[in-house]
Amino acid sequence: MLLQKAIYTKWFDTLHLADNIKHHSVRGGVKTIVAQLLSFAMTMLSTMVISRLVSPDSFGLVAMVTVFTGFVVIFKDLGFSAAVVQKERISQKQVSTLFWINIFISLAISLLISGISPLLVIFYKEPRLLHITWAFAFSLFITGFGLQHNALMKRQMKFGRLSTVQIISTGISITVGITMAWFGFDYWAIVSITVSFSISNTLLLWILCDWRPNFVMNLSKINEFMRFGMGITGFDLVNYFSRNADKAIIGRFIGATVLGLYDRSYQLLMLPITQLRVPLNSVAMPALSSLQKDSEKYRLFYQRYIFILAFFSMPLVVYLAVFAKEVILIILGPQWVEAAPIFQLLAIAAFIQPVAGTTGVVMITMGQTKRYFIWGTLSAVCTVLGYIIGARWGLNGVILSYIFINYVLLAPCLIYCFRYSPITMSLFFKEIIHVVLFSLFSGIVCFSVKYFFVSDSQPIAVIVIGVIVGAACYLAPWFITNYTKVKFYQIVNVRNFLKG
């Protein structure tokens, strides 16, 4: 009994974190970023190999399934994991109840997905989708067993352990995927990556987190979690619908091959951005949650958080847009070269997305999940209407409408989402304005160098020259004024992450 109590206290109590939030944030951020970099390297390797062994049509098949399975998956957690991280106090009965609810929901979702698989076959007129859907259903059921273990480790900022889980799971899944692609399993190689990752990730979470659920189901203990989680689930639901309506339209009316090109372009563009955004968000969520009652510290942490996110993501997106053709040739191979223009258009929207997405982190950590859902609904309606209108002009029309909506809604989003928080729209733009200007300057120089001096060179040579020129043109302006120098040194010295 004493041992169990000690385990519960170890995973539930967060008072020790508040005393040294800077130390835990910096250590956690470094470990998570290192893990993401390793995962990124492994994922890029697998992408380069599998994209050469599997056709765009096969990637399109998998994308057809994930558009619908991903929609249903939103309900597997109901925002409970975020609530476990954000709430000041939690108990064994509460977390155990949440665990069993997650299991029941995961089972129900898996059965539902298996049940709708014949409808997907009819909708897309593609019989191969049946067994692909069943495989994803099984994967989703397994994932439900590790949701609360993952949330508890985030609550305790155990990012070293989470990083270990991430690296090993990624390594196992990629090994399985490449092996199956090599032996000619075609689209099953892509599916196997998801399934093997779910299994290995869940097993490792149970090994590295020694919390175990009791056999209890006390719904009266989780009312506040339900209220908190429903706002997040509602947002995820409408957001997913708006973000994937384009894929459903393309897959249904244009075909699997074009959808494969579009989906690969989007995934390749977002892959490096995700490797940066995910670790920063993972650290920011528990840290900002613990600071929600201290407006000054909350504001200072957010400033550093968004600046670091912008500093790396914005120039990266600009660089990828300029050298889209070369990046695709090297990573995906010649059969994917038609994706380059798609890639460049998507990059325009991706330029602002990582920093704009921090509005959600602010609302969640401030406990404003109802407002989070309301904004998600308004944004989703505008985005889907944009897709419908843009579809009249084909694939480019859909993408251009997505870009237009992203930028038109930016200011209203900031005003609404920051209203009851220590953050303001002026603070948001103050932290990113220099990054925007220096990134665009670097992009213009890189574009000029590429098209006037090295356009006929080999892709690898163009990429190398682009990295050198782009880095020099991006970093040099930071030394123009004392203010920008100070901002730059915050990046160089990560230990100043929380200093004002």
Return the SS3 of 191. helix
Q: What is the pLDDT of residue 112?
A: 85
Cα separations (Å) of 60 from 239, 259, 339, 439, 463?
A: 22, 5, 13, 33, 28
> Is the entire prediction scored with pTM above 0.75?
no
Q: Which of 21, 4, 22 is nearest to 12 (CA)?
A: 4
Residue that the structure tokens 């995961």 belong to? 106
Q: What is the pLDDT of residue 351?
A: 92
DSSP assignments along 198-235, one per residue: HHHHHHHHHHH------S---GGGGHHHHHHHHHHHHH
| Helices (H) then strands (E): counts for the chain | 23, 0
Q: What is the pLDDT of residue 357?
A: 86
Residue type, 88: E
Cα separations (Å) of 32 from 109, 165, 170, 423, 445?
A: 30, 11, 14, 25, 33
Per-residue pLDDT of the chain (500 residues; tens, 9 = 90+): 545 555 656 677 665 555 555 555 556 556 666 776 787 778 778 877 887 888 777 877 887 787 777 666 666 666 667 666 666 677 788 888 888 888 888 888 888 888 888 888 888 788 888 888 899 889 888 988 988 888 888 877 777 788 888 889 989 999 999 999 898 888 899 899 989 999 999 999 999 888 888 887 777 666 666 666 666 666 666 666 666 667 766 666 666 666 777 777 777 777 777 777 877 777 777 778 777 788 888 888 898 889 988 998 999 999 988 988 888 888 877 877 877 888 888 888 889 988 998 988 888 888 887 888 888 888 888 888 888 788 777 778 888 888 999 899 999 999 998 988 899 999 999 999 999 999 999 999 998 888 877 666 788 888 888 889 889 999 999 998 888 888 888 776 654 444 44
Q: Which of 180, 241, 227 is nearest to 368 (CA)?
A: 227
In the chain the first and final C-alpha atoms are separated, in Å, by 45
Spatial contact of 260 and 124, defined as CB atoms under 8 Å apart: no
Q: What is the pLDDT of residue 497?
A: 46
Spatial contact of 41 and 169, defined as CB atoms under 8 Å apart: no
Spatial contact of 376 and 359, defined as CB atoms under 8 Å apart: no
Q: Which of 58, 387, 342, 70 is nearest to 249 (CA)?
A: 387
Q: What is the pLDDT of residue 499?
A: 43
Q: How far apart are CA 307 and CA 321, in angstroms?
A: 21
Q: What is the pLDDT of residue 240?
A: 67
Burial class (CB within 10 angstroms; exposed 0-12, middle 13-18, buried 19+) of 115: exposed
